[in-house]
């Protein structure tokens, strides 16, 4: 066995020594020569990552504090009853002002204020004037309470002046003739007497929807010489 092992070692060692002697010596510096063609440049480095977004803080809206009116009634019933505190700038009815004020009396009657100026009360506006309605159709003339006939002037009778005088009268809400207008003239003498007589007439008030309403009507006088 020892002989066999020695033979195997000799067989393996001889080829290894032969190969080692035939290997060329490795140069210490190896240079690579290119053929002159430019090699492509290396790719650029990747861009740096974008910065992380900054956290934006939401502005905190301050809650509006509701204003409290000291004169307003409380929403909840108070636990106890406290004396009322006077508001600054006002005068209490119980204490008043030292020496009194002009226009005021003992006891604090309304009307006496600091400075002696009495409050001016604006009167209410007058009611709108009612427009007279014209008598006719469904609107009937109210009852005539007082009638006065015109006087036929002597001079007109002597001159035999005759004719019709047509007048328009405006009667107020109380039934009195307010104004008269001549629509058709017979003669100035006759017109004057007709107007004077018509102004003395009196009617009952005209009631429309329960309200006294002025009205307009037409009156005709016929002047003729009696035989």
Q: Report the alpha-carbon distance of residue 82 to residue 25 in Å, rounded.
A: 119
pLDDT at 34: 47
Asked whether residue 217 is domain-assigned, the answer is yes
Q: 190-226, pLDDT tens digit by residue?
A: 999 999 999 999 999 999 988 999 999 999 999 987 6
Work out the pLDDT band at 33, boundaries 50, 70, 90. very low
pLDDT at 200: 96
Among candidate residues 207, 204, 198, the one with its CA nearest the CA of residue 139: 207
Work out the pLDDT band at 144, boundaries 50, 70, 90. very high
Asked whether residue 19 is domain-assigned, the answer is no
Asked whether residue 83 is domain-assigned, the answer is no
Q: What is the mean pLDDT of residues 61-68?
A: 59
Residue 82: pLDDT above 80?
Answer: no
Q: Report the alpha-carbon distance of residue 42 to residue 132 in Å, rounded.
A: 111
Burial environment of residue 193 by CB neighbours within 10 A (0 to 12, 13 to 18, 19 or more)? buried
How many domains does one find in the chain?
1
Structure tokens at 32: 């690579």
Q: 161-197, pLDDT tens digit by residue?
A: 889 999 999 999 999 999 999 999 989 999 999 999 9
Residue 84: pLDDT above 60?
Answer: yes
Q: Do residues 118 and 107 make contact, with C-beta atoms less than 8 angstroms apart?
A: no
Q: Which residues pair with 168 in a beta bridge?
A: 181, 218
pLDDT at 6: 84
pLDDT, greater one: 98 or 122: 122
pLDDT at 44: 75
Among candidate residues 194, 196, 195, the one with its CA nearest the CA of residue 223: 194
Residue 13: pLDDT above 80?
Answer: no
Tell me the H-state helices in 73-226. Answer: 154-158, 188-198
Q: What is the CA radius of gyration of the chain?
A: 64
Structure tokens at 67: 């204003």
Residue with tokens 């102004």: 199
pLDDT at 31: 46
pLDDT at 219: 95
Give the domain extent around 149: 142-223
Asked whether residue 179 is domain-assigned, the answer is yes
Asked whether residue 7 is domain-assigned, the answer is no
Which DSSP letter does residue 166 get?
E
User: Residue 160: which CATH number?
Assistant: 3.30.2420.10
Structure tokens at 50: 């974008």
pLDDT, greater one: 81 or 222: 222
Max avg pLDDT among 50-59, 97-106, 207-216: 207-216
Secondary-structure breakdown of the chain: helix, strand, coil percentages, each rounded to the nearest 5: 15, 20, 65
Asked whether residue 187 is domain-assigned, the answer is yes
Tell me how far CA of residue 137 lies from CA of 132, 133, 216, in angstroms.
Answer: 15, 11, 13
Q: Do residues 198 and 149 make contact, with C-beta atoms less than 8 angstroms apart?
A: no
- Which residues are CB-contacts of 210 (< 8 A; sequence separation ≥ 6)? none
pLDDT at 205: 94
Asked whether residue 99 is domain-assigned, the answer is no
Q: Report the alpha-carbon distance of residue 110 to residue 103 in Å, rounded.
A: 9
Asked whether residue 166 is domain-assigned, the answer is yes
pLDDT at 196: 95
């Amino acid at each position: 066995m020892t002989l066999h092992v020695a033979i195997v070692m000799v067989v393996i060692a001889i080829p290894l020594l032969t190969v080692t002697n035939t290997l060329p010596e490795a140069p210490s510096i190896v240079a690579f020569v290119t053929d002159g063609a430019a090699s492509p440049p290396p790719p650029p480095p990747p861009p740096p990552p974008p910065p992380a977004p900054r956290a934006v803080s939401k502005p905190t809206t301050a809650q509006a504090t509701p204003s409290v009116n000291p004169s307003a009634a409380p929403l909840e019933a108070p636990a106890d009853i406290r004396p009322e505190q006077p508001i600054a700038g006002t005068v209490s009815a119980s204490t008043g002002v030292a020496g009194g004020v002009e226009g005021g009396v003992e006891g604090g009657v309304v009307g006496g204020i600091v400075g002696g100026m009495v409050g001016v009360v604006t009167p209410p506006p007058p009611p709108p004037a009612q427009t007279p309605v014209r008598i006719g159709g469904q609107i009937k003339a109210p009852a005539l309470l007082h009638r006065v006939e015109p006087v036929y002037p002597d001079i007109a009778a002597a001159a035999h002046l005759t004719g019709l005088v047509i007048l328009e009268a405006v009667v107020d809400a109380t039934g009195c003739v307010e104004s008269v207008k001549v629509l058709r003239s017979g003669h100035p003498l006759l017109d004057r007497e007709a107007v004077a007589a018509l102004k003395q007439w009196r009617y009952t008030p005209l009631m429309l929807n329960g309200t006294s309403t002025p009205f307009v009507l037409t009156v005709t006088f016929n002047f003729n010489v009696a035989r």
